[in-house]
Amino acid sequence: MEAVIAIAIGVLTAAGVWLVLRPRTFQVLVGLSLLSYATNLFIFSVGSLSIAREPIVQPGVTPDLVQYTDPLPQSLVLTAIVIGFATTALFLVVLLALRGLTDSDHVDGEEERP
């Protein structure tokens, strides 16, 4: 399970970095979103991945015998998803306004030469 999560984080990070380095603003925006997803997945995995385990410590059960999932990273990721969605929507509006004003969507403002 940990290997699958590590590979997924690596692929998301690599694709995000590759897209951030592209010359078009929409590709940069998608790359930033992928980097955000990779970071969220990393933070989520820090809370110890457990399948079919209870996230709440019950009285009388010692924590040494049972591995519990930490709910704090889950709540942080949920908050980050909401904030990321709002900032992505804001970036899209700014991107559309910039494209309407400049008739270009290049990051550096220059068009590609054929």
What is the spatial distance between Cα 82 and Cα 77, in angstroms, rounded to a whole number?
9
Q: What is the pLDDT of residues 60-85, one digit of tens each?
A: 666 665 566 677 888 889 999 999 99
DSSP conformational letter for 114: -
Q: Where are the beta strands (DSSP E) in 15-110?
A: none
Residue 34 CB neighbours (<10 A): 20
The residue that leads in pLDDT, 71 or 88, is 88
> How far are the Cα atoms of 28, 29, 104 from residue 16, in angstroms, in the given order?
8, 9, 22
Which residues are CB-neighbours of 22 under 8 A, at least 6 positions away? 28, 31
State the average pLDDT for the chain: 83
pTM greater than 0.85 = no
Angle at 102 between CA 96 and CA 105, to 5 degrees: 60
What's the pLDDT score for residue 58?
66
Task: Determine which of 11-15, 73-77, 84-88 has the lowest per-residue pLDDT on average.
Answer: 73-77
Angle at 82 between CA 78 and CA 87, to 5 degrees: 140
Question: In which residue are the tokens 């991107």 written?
Answer: 95
Q: What is the pLDDT of residues 26-68, one digit of tens each?
A: 899 999 999 999 999 998 888 776 666 666 666 666 666 556 6
Domains of the chain, earliest start first: 2-49+69-102 (1.10.287)
What's the pLDDT score for residue 98?
83
What SS3 state is found at 86?
Answer: helix
**Tokens standing for residue 5:** 């999560």
